[in-house]
Amino acid sequence: MKRRDFVRALGLSGVAGLTAPGSLLGTAPHGRSAAGHGGAPPLPGGGGPATHGGAPPPGGRPHPPLGPLASDSVNLVVLHTNDTHSRMDPFPMDGGRFQGLGGAARRATLIRRIRDANEHVLVLDSGDIFQGTPYFNFFGGELEFRAMTAMGYDVATLGNHDFDNGVDGLVAMLPEAGFEFVSANYDVSASALAGHVKPYVLRDFEGVGVGIFGLGIAFEKLVLASLHEGVVYTDPIAAARATCSELRGLGCSLIICLSHLGYRYGDPARPSDRTLAEAVPEIDLILGGHTHTFLDEAEVFGQGRSGFTLVNQVGWGGMRLGRIDVGFDPAGEASAWAAVDYGIDRRLDAWRAAE
């Protein structure tokens, strides 16, 4: 049996496994899941696992670990940058604080070294790829996107400075970007970015589903209306909640948010990575940007069985490459959970068909 056969709408079945069957199933927008993926047929069932039937018998053991799952695991290396700001070259040796750091060609070496040593690697960016050196002023971001493509970036979100040459300026550079853009709270449907920026993308690593979505900062006082023409900012917390429901419904085992909201603000009402982590615990990794925050370790938010949310940010200018290793192990201590949660579900097939 292939591993991917076991991956399913895990979050929903987990709920079903812990509470009265079906008690929370109504909250998940299954219909949207399919609709969001290019006309795939509606996912079967009301959310319960197809094989294991949701709740284990009260007081009884859940299904035992299944053989193929117990024997091995999937390891994913998540690499990330933010606010690289057109820093193609290392900071000049001018006595400045950051002299000698960064450089896209060196970053490429590092990323490739990690790729060579690991089977499953994601390379992500949290926005503000543009602006900050004459490379952007003269060439409009073309080289930034080309280099990121050569480096093997998978997904990026949009920062406020990525609009510095307007929506048209960004769209004009997209042919150079061999990676995808995500934003769940910028409604691009009425703009030239329509079709180029998705709310989220999905990746499958040996059957482990990973959902990656993006969140962008409010345009007010940051991006002139003429520059984000047609792109509408919506509440990032609400967008994150809706997207997480959808991604869990699609069988994602890991949810990654590429955020350009900023790490934290004095005004607690202003959305930030920290408020996001507290408000939307369904997110596993929040890879942040905008505030150019150097976190020497990820900040951990978490409560209850739903686990944790990691918040990380790696400064700016390509001086650091962040790395988070995630091991998916359906066996071991969590075998009971794994047996239930890695239940076979046809919804995965629907998801895969839609891909």
Partner 1 sequence: MQGLGRPAANRARSCGRHAVGLLMVALSSAGCSDGPAERPAPPDPMPAAFAIREAPVVFTEVGDSLEPAADVEAMIAPYRAQLEDQLAEVLGHAQGGFAKDDPEGTLDNLVADALLEVAREMAAGPVHVSLINEGGLRVPIAAGPIRMRHAYELLPFENFVTVLSLSGTQMERLADEIAAANGEPIAGWTMELDGDDAIEVRVAGEPIDPGGTYRLATVDYLVNGGGTWSVLWEARPEDREDLGILIRDVFVQYLRTHGTVTPELDGRIRDAADPLRPGQQAPTQRERREP
> Contacting partner 1 (CB under 8 A), which of 3, 5, 14, 256?
14
Q: What is the 3-state secondary structure (H, E, C) of 125-177?
A: ECCCCCCCCHHHHHHCCHHHHHHHHHHCCCEEECCHHHHCCHHHHHHHHHHHC
Q: CA dist 159 to 222, 279, 285, 340, Å?
A: 10, 22, 18, 39
User: Which residues in 98-117 contact partner 1 (CB under 8 A)?
Assistant: 100-110, 112
Q: CA dist 163 to 49, 144, 242, 313, Å?
A: 43, 14, 25, 21
> Contacting partner 1 (CB under 8 A), which of 35, 68, 70, 73?
73
Closest separation between CB of residue 39 and partner 1, Å? 26
User: Which residues in 261-280 contact partner 1 (CB under 8 A)?
Assistant: none
Q: Using the rule CB under 8 A, is 10 a contact of partner 1?
A: yes
User: Which residues in 140-199 contact partner 1 (CB under 8 A)?
Assistant: 143, 146-147, 150-151, 164-165
> Contacting partner 1 (CB under 8 A), which of 124, 261, 340, 350?
340
- Smaller CB separation from partner 1, 77 or 174: 77
Residues binding partner 1: number (CB under 8 A): 101
- Smaller CB separation from partner 1, 41 or 64: 64
Helix (H, G, I), strand (E, B) or coil at 10: helix
Cβ atoms 234, 185 nearer than 8 A: yes
User: Which residues in 270-329 contact partner 1 (CB under 8 A)?
Assistant: 281-282, 284, 296-298, 300, 302-308, 310, 312, 314, 318-329
User: Which residues in 211-250 contact partner 1 (CB under 8 A)?
Assistant: 220-222, 224-226, 244-245, 248
Cβ atoms 305, 257 nearer than 8 A: no
Rama region for 190: left / alpha / beta (φ>0; ψ in -120 to 50; rest): alpha
